[in-house]
Amino acid sequence: MMTKDGMNYAPKGKPNPVVEKGAFQFAAAALDHGHIYGMCNGLVEAGATLKWVYDPDPEKVAQFVKAFPNVLPAESLEQILADQSVMLIAAAAIPSKRSELGIQVMNAGKDYFTDKTPFTTIEQLEETKQVVEQTGQKYMVYYSERLHVEGAVFAGELIENGAIGRVIQVTGFGPHRLNASSRPEWFFKKEQYGGILCDIGSHQIEQFLYYAGCSDAKVLHSKIGNYHNNEYSELDDYGDATLLGDNGATNYFRVDWFTPDGLSTWGDGRTFIIGTEGTIEIRKYVDIAREKNGNHVYLVNQDGEQHFNVSGKVGFPFFGKLILDCMNRTETAMSQAHAFKAAELCLRAQEQAIFISEQRSVSEIK
């Protein structure tokens, strides 16, 4: 699937149900970000039954019903929360409202699956941790750049099978196309979207923790800037950060809103992984000037140089595992600690970032 806009990135895979029809029912709410479609696609393909949808905007609901014709429009969020057959609510609210909605969902006795970034403040994170502990419910996060990219899934399998030894460094590039005219108003308000390192940077930090096997990390340095979008004074159009994991692995990543119009997709996302016995490169969405499809994985180790095009060959196991985790109260898809740690570190990176712009000189930054 090729799209010019990352906000509407919603991969479709092959149906691979882990439960019988009707055994796991869920609902969708807060349709503020297009990722809700990818979240629901993944769950439905894994066998979940999408029962309800709710959003205060009837146009958003009507568009959603076109994509999922069997879903029932709810009159209110309360109607969904009161339905005891619904085990999980998937939502893509405005980022600053995601934790508030999640707390409401968990207090109603349901698991919550939110788009990234799951929080915009440390205070939200700490409050949510308390509610998770009190309720025993799940607060899962759609870190789509790893969970919903077959090349990224396959790279994880290679690492798990020892293809490159112990991971010691991860470098991530997450460029996105801005498409400013199609973005909602909240996208340009720092208090609502959280900042670039908090937002799309969350993908990069989550991948580092996962591939390198870190349970914690320290943000050594981070910076943000607005280089070319002064009409949106609160927009970070560039950000990068360096992290050190608790096991000694290191990470550098860069995210931006500068994808050129000539690129066939919304961003040339890549991940480079160095291990003690080999290297991996993931070209996630495109192999520029060669092939317009993504999911290219390049492996170099003692066996030589290998290229894998894994589109349609790996699938998206996270969603089936999440369904079974909700039913069995296990943590095979993603641990709660991992989801929260990735969120915390992107908040820390954003919080301590140096701001740079074309107007500031090197002397001012120092």
Q: 312 exposed, middle or buried (CB, 10 Å; 0-12, 13-18, 19+)?
A: exposed
- Residue 54 forms beta bridges with which residues? 29
pLDDT per residue as tens digits for the range 203-254: 999 999 999 999 999 999 999 999 999 999 999 999 999 999 999 999 999 9
Q: What's the rounded mean pLDDT across residues 184-208?
A: 98
The token duo for 23 is 């055994």
pTM of the model: 0.95
Which whole-number Å values give the CA distances from 207 to 17, 64, 272, in the listed order?
A: 26, 29, 11
Contacts of 354 by beta carbon, 8 Å cutoff, 6+ apart: 222, 223, 224, 365
d(CA 88, CA 148): 19
Phi, psi of 252 (to 5 degrees): -130, 135
Which residue type does 120 have? T
- 335-341 long-range contacts (CB < 8 A, ≥24 apart) are 336/132, 336/138, 336/139, 336/140, 337/215, 338/206, 338/209, 338/210, 338/215, 339/118, 339/139, 339/140, 339/141, 340/125, 340/128, 340/129, 340/139, 341/209, 341/215, 341/216, 341/217
pLDDT per residue as tens digits for the range 297-341: 999 999 999 999 999 999 999 999 999 999 999 999 999 999 999
Which whole-number Å values give the CA distances from 271 to 170, 232, 256, in the listed order?
A: 7, 29, 15
* 8 Å CB contact between 295 and 32: no
Query: Each residue of 181-198: b (16+ CB within 10 Å) or e?
Result: eebeebbbebebbbbbbb
Cis amide bond preceding 276, omega within 30: no
pLDDT per residue as tens digits for the range 246-304: 999 999 999 999 999 999 999 999 999 999 999 999 999 999 999 999 999 999 999 99
Which residue type does 266 have? W
Which residue type does 243 have? L
Which whole-number Å values give the CA distances from 354 to 22, 29, 190, 287, 351, in the listed order?
A: 50, 35, 15, 33, 9
- Average pLDDT of the chain? 95
Q: For residue 11, is pLDDT > 90? A: no
* 8 Å CB contact between 17 and 44: no
Query: Of 120, 353, 365, 124, which Cα lies nearest the Cα of 219?
Result: 353
